[in-house]
Structure 1
Amino acid sequence: MKFGTSGLRGLVEDLEGQPAALYATAFARMLLGAGKIKAGDAILIGRDFRDSSPKIAAICAGALSRAGLRVVDCGTIPTPALALYGLECGCAALMITGSHIPADRNGIKFYRPDGEIDKADEQAIQAQAAALREAGGVDATAGDADEQAEAEAIRLFLARNKALLPAGALKGLKIGVYQHSTVARDLFVDLLDYYGAQVLPLGRSDVFIPVDTEAVSPGTVALMRDWTREFELHAVVSADGDGDRPLVADETGEPIRGDLLGLVAAEHLDAQVAVTPVTSNSGLEEQGLLRIRRTAVGSPFVIAGMAQAVAEGMGGVIGFEANGGTLTASDFIIDGTRLRALPTRDSMLPVLAILQLAAERRMPLSAVVRSYALPVALSDRLENFPLETSSALMAHLRGAQEGLASFLAPIGEIGRVSDIDGLRVRLKDGRIIHFRPSGNAPEMRCYVEARTESQAEALLSEGLGLIRDFAAKRS
C-alpha cells in the first residue's frame, strides 16, 4: 500500500482485512491527536461500485467505531459530493475507491473536517500505521454504520450544481451519458435533464469498468464515436469510477483534454489564478486569461498551491489537472448565489461549463476546442509496468546529460529539461515529451505536445516505444 497522487492505493488483496482497519485507525488517531476531531464525533464513509468496496468500507466502519467515532454511511456517492457534505457538517470522511485503476485494485481517500489531507497528513497517517503494526496490529472485524446520510449528501451536491448555470441553459443539446460503473452516472442524467438537455443514458454496467479520463482507452473512444454517429449526439459525458474526473467527448466522439475543461471552468467562474500540474498543456499561459501556477502531479500538490495563492492574498483561485478534475479554493458568486470553495477534484463543474459554452456560442464542441488553439497534447501509459523498471528508467534519464540525449536521439535534440515531476523535455523543434511513473499504479506514463495531431500521435508512439525498448533490455 502506498499514497499516490490522491489517496492510498494498492491491490485489493493487500487492502482487505487488517490493512484497511489499520489505516482507518491510523487516520482516526492522527485526527484525534491533532485535535481536529474528538471522541464521539461523526465520520463519513462513501464508496464506489467496485466489488471490493462494500467489504473494505465495513472493515473501516468497524475500526472507526472502535476508535470512538460515530460512523455515517454515505453510500455509493461521488467523491466531491462526500467532500462537500463533510465540509458542510464539519466531519472527517473516508472514500473507498480506486478511482480509475482496474478492479483488482482499490484504495482510500481521506478528508479532514476542513478538506482533503495533505502530504504532511499522509506522513502522519503512515507513522501511526507503522506504530500500530509494530504493536501487533488492530482488530479488523467489520462493523455497521450508526447513521445513513446518502440522500442528504446527494441533495446538497445536486443543489450546488443546479446553481452553476441559468435555467434551461442546455436546451437544444442532445447529450449521451456514458454511465458504465461511475457513481456519478445518475447524477449526470438528473443535472443535464434539469438544464433542459435531451439526455440519453448509455453503456450502464453492473461490472466495474476502469475509465481513465486522462489516457482514454481506444475501446472507450470507439464506443463514444459509435454513439455520437448513431444517435446524432452533440456530446458524450462521463467520469471515472468515483466521479471526480470528467470525461467529455465532442460531436465526433473525440475526447476533450481535461486541462481545457479546467480552463473553461475557470473562465465560467471568472477565476483569476489557476494552479495546475506540469503535465497540463503548455499553451495555458499563452491564453492570457489567468495567472498560471505549476505544481507536481496530484491533487495534494494542487491544493497546496491553491492554499499558497490564497495565503498571498489572491482571490478567484481555482485548480485543475490534465485529467479534468477541477478544484476551487475561493468562494465564487454566480448570479448572486455563493458557490463555496470545494478544494477537491470535481467532475460536474467542468462538464457543465463547457456544455454551456457550446450552447451559448451555438458551436459544436470541436469548434469550441479549436477556438482556444492550444498545442495538441496527448498521453498514454504502459500498464503492469514494474516499479523497479520505471525507477531504473527515471534514474537513467536523470543521470548524465549524454544518457538522456542518447535515449532521445531517435526522436530529436534536447532543448530544455524540467524535473518538477518526472522528466519533461522540450525538444529544439518545440515538441514536448514527458516521462513519468504513475503515482497510483504500476504504470509508466508518457505525455507529448506538438503543433499537429499527426505529429503528437507519432511522438507519443515513439516515446512509448523507447520505454518498451528500455524495459526489454532489462528483462
Structure 2
Amino acid sequence: MTETKKTISIAAIQNERGVRFGTSGARGLVADMSSDVCFAYTSAFLEAIKAFEGKVALAMDLRPSSPEIAAACAAAIEHARLETDFCGTVPTPALAYHAQMRGMPGIMVTGSHIPFDRNGIKFYRAEGEITKTDEARISAAVVEMGSSSTTPLPAANRSAFDAYVARYLDFFPAQSLAGMRLGFYEHSSLARDVLRRILELLGAEVVSLGRTDEFVPIDTEAVSRADVEQARRWAAEHRFDAIVSTDGDADRPLVGDENGNWFRGDVVGILCAQYLRAKGVVTTVSSNTAVEKCGAFASVSRTRIGSPYVIEGIERQLAAGISPVVGFEPNGGFLVGSSIEREGRRLAPLMTRDAVLPILCVLMMAREQGVKVSAVSLGLPSRFTASDRIQSFPTALSGTLIARFASSAAAFGELFGSLCGEIASQDETDGLRVTLRSGEIFHLRPSGNAPELRCYAEAATQERAEHLVSEGLTRLRNLVPRQ
C-alpha cells in the first residue's frame, strides 16, 4: 500500500492559526507558530523562489521561542534536500548581507519589536527581502510535510557576523570615531556584540547599558516613557557624546544625543541619506515631510508602510535611472538600493532594513561637522513628528473606524474636530492620513504585525505633535467595548 503524504495549505494556516504576512515577514502568536506551521511556511518559501540546491542561511533572535522555530525551519530546509548555513544569533541585516554575498536564500527567525507573546519569520532571496508577489505565492502554496517537523540546529558559524563588521570597517575611515564616548543600551538586541565591535574598531569608547538576558520588545516608533527618562539619566550621569541602541533584531536604530534625547527614526533616515549623498529617496507615507522640504534630494517617493513596499519604490527609481537611491521608514530602518561611493570607499547595496548604518552616519556627521550630536539635525526644516499605538486593539475595529473616518468628514470631526480642526486633504495610501488646514498631519492605521492601532502626527513643535497623538489615542480608547 502506498503511504499518503501529509500536506498543509498555507491559506488554511493563515485562516485557522492567524499566522500571516505583516509589514515584514510572517508573524503570529507563539502559541500558533507550531513546528508544523513553521516547517510549512519555510517549505512554501523555498518552493516559491525555486531553491533546489545549495545552502540556505538561517539565524534567529534572542526570544525564548526562537530556537524551536529555527529548528522547524532547519527541518524544512533538510526536507528540501538543501543544507542549513546556521549563523546563530546575529542581526537581521547581517543575515541578509551574508545571504546576499554568498548568493543564497536566507531565513531569519524574529519577532522584531512586537510583543513578547509573538514571533515571526522573515524570508530573503539572495537579492534581498522577498516581494509582495513572493508573499502571494507562499500564501497560495500547499506543501508536503516531512517525517519530522524539527531537527537539531547545527553549530553556528561566525561568517555572517564577520562579514557584517567588515562591511562598515571597509566603508568608514579607520579611527574616525576616536575620542567619542558612547553609551550603548544593549538590552536583548542582536546588535549588542556586533555593533560594539564596529564602534570600538572605529575608535569609540563604548559603555554597556542595560544588558539583559530577558527579551525586551523595544519599538523604535513608540519609545516608552521609561526609556526616554532612562536615556536622559544615563546622559547626565556619564557625559556621553551619544547613546545608541536598536530594536530586538537590530534592523531599526535608536540614536540619542549627548543630552539623552532620542532622535525620531525618520529624522535619522533623512540625515543618513544626506550623509551618503543620495539622489533618490523612498520612504513611507508616514514619514516626516522634512524629507521633501529640506531640498537635498532630486527625487522623493512615498509608499505604503512596510519594507517590501519601500523596496518596490527603490526598484522603480532605479529603473528610472536615478542613482544612488536609498530608502528608510519612520522606525529608522535604512535600506541601500544601489552602490554608494564616498571618499573613494564603496558600500554595497543591502535591500533590507539596517540599524547600524544610520547610527554610524549620524555619529560621522557630528565628527565631520565638528558639532555635538544634538546639532546635526538643526539644518532640517522645523517639522516634528510623534507616534504611539494602542495595544490589544481589535484589527477589525481599527478597519471599521478608519473606513468611517475616511468616508465622512463629519464622523472624523465629531471625534477629533476639537483636537485637529478641519481637514484640508486626505491620503488613504495606508490607513487614513489627513493634512489639516493648520498644516499639521494626523494619521491612523492598523499595525500590520499585531492587533494594534497606530497613530502618527506631525506639527510645528514636538509638544504639539505628541499632544495630537496622546489625545487622539485617548479618544480612540474610549471606543473600545469594555470586556
TM class by smaller structure: over 0.9
What is the identity, as a one-letter code, of the residue corresponding to 2:29?
L
Given that 1:281 and 1:374 are in contact with CA atoms closer than 8 Å, whether structure 2 keeps it comes out as no
- Give the corresponding residue for 2:58: 45
2:207 aligned counterpart, secondary structure: strand
* TM superposition score normalised by structure 1: 0.94
Runs of 4+ with deviation above 3 angstroms: 137-140
- Give the corresponding residue for 1:13: 31
- Give the corresponding residue for 2:46: 28
Distance 1:341 1:213 in 2: 23
Given that 1:229 and 1:252 are in contact with CA atoms closer than 8 Å, whether structure 2 keeps it comes out as yes
Distance 1:296 1:417 in 2: 14
* Alignment counterpart, residue 466 of structure 2, candidates 452, 457, 460: 457
- Give the corresponding residue for 1:125: 138
Could you say if the C-alpha distance between residues 454 and 145 of structure 1 is closer, same or farther in structure 2, counting changes exceeding 3 Å? closer
- Give the corresponding residue for 2:295: 288
- Give the corresponding residue for 1:112: 125
Q: 1:252: Cα distance to partner?
A: 1.7
1:215 aligned counterpart, secondary structure: coil
Q: 1:92: Cα distance to partner?
A: 0.3
Q: Residues 257-276 of structure 1: CA distance to partner in whole angstroms, max 9, x if unpaired? A: 11111112112221100000
Q: Does 1:443 align with 2:461?
A: no
* Alignment counterpart, residue 310 of structure 2, candidates 302, 307, 330: 302
- Give the corresponding residue for 1:356: 364
**Percentage identity across paired residues of the two chains:** 43
Structure 2 unaligned spans of 5+: 1-18
Given that 1:380 and 1:446 are in contact with CA atoms closer than 8 Å, whether structure 2 keeps it comes out as yes
* Alignment counterpart, residue 67 of structure 1, candidates 50, 55, 80: 80
* Alignment counterpart, residue 142 of structure 1, candidates 147, 150, 170: 150
1:309-458 pair list within 5 angstroms: 309-411=317-419, 412-458=421-467
CA RMSD for the aligned pairs? Answer: 1.5
Given that 2:290 and 2:380 are in contact with CA atoms closer than 8 Å, whether structure 1 keeps it comes out as no
Q: 1:145: Cα distance to partner?
A: 4.7
- Give the corresponding residue for 2:273: 266
Given that 1:72 and 1:145 are in contact with CA atoms closer than 8 Å, whether structure 2 keeps it comes out as no
Q: Does 1:88 align with 2:88?
A: no
Q: Residues 176-228 of structure 1: CA distance to partner in whole angstroms, max 9, x if unpaired? A: 01100011111121111112112101111000000111111112112211111
Q: Residues 210-249 of structure 1: CA distance to partner in whole angstroms, max 9, x if unpaired? A: 0111111112112211111111111110111111111111
Q: 1:139: Cα distance to partner?
A: 4.6
What is the identity, as a one-letter code, of the residue corresponding to 1:287?
C
Q: Residues 61-118 of structure 1: CA distance to partner in whole angstroms, max 9, x if unpaired? A: 0111012211110100111111111111110010000001122110000001222100
1:338 aligned counterpart, secondary structure: strand
Given that 2:97 and 2:164 are in contact with CA atoms closer than 8 Å, whether structure 1 keeps it comes out as yes
Q: 1:375: Cα distance to partner?
A: 0.5
Q: 1:138: Cα distance to partner?
A: 5.2
Q: Residues 286-326 of structure 1: CA distance to partner in whole angstroms, max 9, x if unpaired? A: 10101211000000000000011111111101001100010
Given that 1:22 and 1:138 are in contact with CA atoms closer than 8 Å, whether structure 2 keeps it comes out as no
Given that 1:17 and 1:140 are in contact with CA atoms closer than 8 Å, whether structure 2 keeps it comes out as no
Q: Residues 354-402 of structure 1: CA distance to partner in whole angstroms, max 9, x if unpaired? A: 0111122232222222332331101011111111221221222122332
Distance 1:211 1:168 in 2: 30
Q: 1:457: Cα distance to partner?
A: 2.1
- Give the corresponding residue for 1:233: 240
Q: 1:405: Cα distance to partner?
A: 2.9
Q: Does 1:206 align with 2:213?
A: yes
Given that 1:275 and 1:302 are in contact with CA atoms closer than 8 Å, whether structure 2 keeps it comes out as yes
Structure 1 unaligned spans of 5+: none
Q: Does 1:469 align with 2:482?
A: no
Given that 1:77 and 1:150 are in contact with CA atoms closer than 8 Å, whether structure 2 keeps it comes out as no
Q: 1:163: Cα distance to partner?
A: 2.4
Given that 1:18 and 1:139 are in contact with CA atoms closer than 8 Å, whether structure 2 keeps it comes out as no
- Give the corresponding residue for 1:180: 187
Distance 1:210 1:343 in 2: 24
